Structure 1
Amino acid sequence: MWPFQRTPSIDPAQGDPRARTLITALTGQDRDTIRQIFTETTDHDERAFLMATADDVPGVQDWITGWITDEPESTLPLLIRGCHAVAWAWDARGGRLARYTSSDKFAEFHRRLKIAENCLDEVTDRDPDEVLAWAWLTTSARGRQVPTDTATERFRQVTKRAPHHLLAHEQRLQHLCRKWAGSHAEMFAFAREATAGAPPGHLLPNVLAIAHLEYWLSLPGGEDAAYMTTPLVRADLRTAAEQSILHPAFTRTPGWASRANTFAMALHMAGEYQYAAHVFDLIGDHVTEWPWFYRTLFGSPARTFAKARRDVHRSRR
């Protein structure tokens, strides 16, 4: 509850002790600890959260090939290299739209994605049930612009083993965005279907909030802010939040914070301050870079988060 820190700091581990240990182990090239963490973690969404955390650790590509060489029978270092290389590729590309991205950056982007897919393909050949590999192949699909049926099959390989896989659904949504390989209609149809099929208290309905934020990003100035306050958007966000993080069955599972922040930002933008207040109370000081960087022109995502939280707090007075 209020008050919280005036401007909280962003924790790359999102408050999760295993994620923090993993970051330290990857930085220190501690193979035994890395292996132990991934071996002992069996939940698909928790494993995806840990791997996504690993993606942000710099320098992994500089040493991981040595581990692959030393343990050719193990798929784990190959998996880590492949997943990390997907994020490494996007680092090379940058976050700007295609028309503002240089040919050199695109060349490096595709070179790194090829490294990623070669590793992940080998993992799935050797272990078809490795959901993490299929999930990261779902991400790389849009970067490599693979055929539609190939991208769909990669996602199907995830969901037949983990029907409500959170990260894979989020990445599939991105693939279906108009700015990549789909359309607004495909994006929203997917988000609504996923939300409707999510178990009570699951984080998956956040894909509907993401879909509205993606549409907001596609609109020109003036229209974008107005869109977020339309009755349809507000109703969608309330319903999704009630089914997810505001449902009595919700529990804080690893990776919950970034999804809660997505709801908080979208509800704040929609003017749904009472709902946003409940979400901010849930978040506390667990601010995440995603999605606040979308609204950060100057300063930091944490300051943008803190300002939105103050707006919501004032509405309670």
Structure 2
Amino acid sequence: MPPVDPPSPVPPPAGPQSDPYVTTPALVPLRSAAQAGDWAATRRFLTGLGDDDQAYAVRMLTEIDDTEAYLERAAAENPDDPLARTLVAARYVVVGWNIRTHSRPQYVSRDQFTRFHEWLRRAEELLIGICADHPSYALAWNARLATARGLELGQSEARRRYDRLAAHHPYYFASQRHLLQKLCPKWGGTYESLHEFARTCADAAPPGSLAGALVADAHMEHWLELDEPADGEYIASPEVRDELTEAAARSVLHPDHRPGFWDVTCHSLFAMALSTGGHHAEAAPHFKALGERFDRQPWGFLRGDPESQFVNHRTTALTLTS
């Protein structure tokens, strides 16, 4: 019998893509393992990743619906494994946030808050034990930053948790983003502390790391808090433009940068912040790096459909620089 040729690879869909399993196809085996309830494959996938990619993959895993039972079973069968227990807690955090939604507090009902806090307290109880047994375990401390914000435990407690993690993992991007959110005025922080933290992280990180994207994240959060016309004047200022381009040059545009799971998010943050300020030429390298990929979260902050916003700003940037 003649040999059978292997099937040709399926080409990626044409046009802009925001599904993380399309923009980052290396994540597909993790989703398949989770949907099959295959703990061994899940663990093998996650433990083979570096810190930043692992944190991103955990975020994707815990956002898959109805994974609680399989993760709880894995934790029960592997009581000494901090990964299994942490994933259960991280999933509880996601379930809670899905109940609360990301709406402003005035649009969240009392019942939503009650159920939200119940899930976060369940997560926190698990995480306290994990961090006691494994004081340097980054994934657990990262989840505790999410519970600290959701349970409104205050700035000092959030900072204490971050410092405990940073003592062992000083450039842990996922936790830096968690603390950045907590430092926003909407969570009891200030603009000064928000920008100071982003700049400090970016300055301290090795060239080519992800931390520079925190500068873009901070500027977008600041811009979102302002009303017209102050918001337009702020994001269009030369000072913001220069800080964004410098941060990008030290991070995802640096020759030492190694692409990873966070790249679509980071380039989307820079592209959106620069485009919103009218700095289209400076945004072009990020659009070129993205190609047809984009993260819906930052582009969803603009009025209109996120995909249309991405395409329109990309067209402007690439036309001006062609």
TM range (shorter): over 0.9
| Structure 1 counterpart of 2:27, from 19, 22, 32 | 19
Q: What does residue 107 of structure 1 align with?
A: 114
Q: What does residue 234 of structure 2 align with?
A: 227
Q: What SS class does the counterpart of residue 202 from structure 2 fall into?
A: helix
Q: Please say which of residues 238-247 and 221-230 is displaced more in the overlay.
A: 221-230
Q: What does residue 145 of structure 1 align with?
A: 152
CA displacement at 1:94 relative to structure 2: 0.9
Ranked by relative contact order (alpha carbons within 8 Å, sequence separation 6 or more), the top structure is 1
CA displacement at 1:296 relative to structure 2: 4.5
CA distance in 2: counterparts of 1:17 and 1:30, whole angstroms: 19
Q: What does residue 312 of structure 2 align with?
A: 307
**What amino acid maps onto 1:188 in structure 2?**
H
CA displacement at 1:314 relative to structure 2: 2.5
| Aligned-CA RMSD value | 1.9
**What amino acid maps onto 1:8 in structure 2?**
P
Q: What SS class does the counterpart of residue 162 from structure 1 fall into?
A: coil
CA displacement at 1:204 relative to structure 2: 0.5
Equivalent residues of 1:83, 1:116 under 8 A apart: yes
Equivalent residues of 2:208, 2:251 under 8 A apart: yes
CA distance in 2: counterparts of 1:239 and 1:40, whole angstroms: 32
1:53 aligns with 2:66: no
CA distance in 1: counterparts of 2:55 and 2:243, whole angstroms: 27
Q: Please say which of residues 161-170 and 11-20 is displaced more in the overlay.
A: 11-20
Equivalent residues of 2:264, 2:295 under 8 A apart: yes
1:70 aligns with 2:68: no
**What amino acid maps onto 1:191 in structure 2?**
A
For normalisation by structure 2, the TM-score amounts to 0.91
CA distance in 1: counterparts of 2:192 and 2:30, whole angstroms: 39
Q: Percent identity?
A: 27
Q: 1:127 to 1:14 in 2, by over 3 A?
A: farther
CA distance in 1: counterparts of 2:126 and 2:46, whole angstroms: 18
Q: Deviations over 1:23-59 (max 9, x none)?
A: 1111221111011112322x21121111111122111
**What amino acid maps onto 2:118 in structure 1?**
R
1:199 aligns with 2:206: yes
Runs (5+) with no aligned partner, structure 1: none
| Structure 2 counterpart of 1:37, from 27, 41, 45 | 45
CA distance in 1: counterparts of 2:250 and 2:82, whole angstroms: 37
**What amino acid maps onto 1:306 in structure 2?**
V
**What amino acid maps onto 1:238 in structure 2?**
T
CA distance in 2: counterparts of 1:44 and 1:96, whole angstroms: 30
**What amino acid maps onto 2:141 in structure 1?**
W
Runs ≥4 residues deviating over 6 A: none
Aligned residue-pair number: 311
Equivalent residues of 2:155, 2:182 under 8 A apart: no
Q: What SS class does the counterpart of residue 300 from structure 2 fall into?
A: helix
**What amino acid maps onto 1:39 in structure 2?**
T
Equivalent residues of 1:135, 1:168 under 8 A apart: yes
CA distance in 2: counterparts of 1:252 and 1:296, whole angstroms: 30
Q: What does residue 171 of structure 2 align with?
A: 164
**What amino acid maps onto 1:23 in structure 2?**
R
Q: Deviations over 1:178-225 (max 9, x none)?
A: 100211111111111111112111110111111110111101133222
Structure having the higher Rg: 2
Q: 1:130 to 1:14 in 2, by over 3 A?
A: farther
CA displacement at 1:80 relative to structure 2: 0.6
Equivalent residues of 2:62, 2:91 under 8 A apart: yes
CA distance in 2: counterparts of 1:303 and 1:115, whole angstroms: 39
Runs (5+) with no aligned partner, structure 2: 1-11
**What amino acid maps onto 1:137 in structure 2?**
R
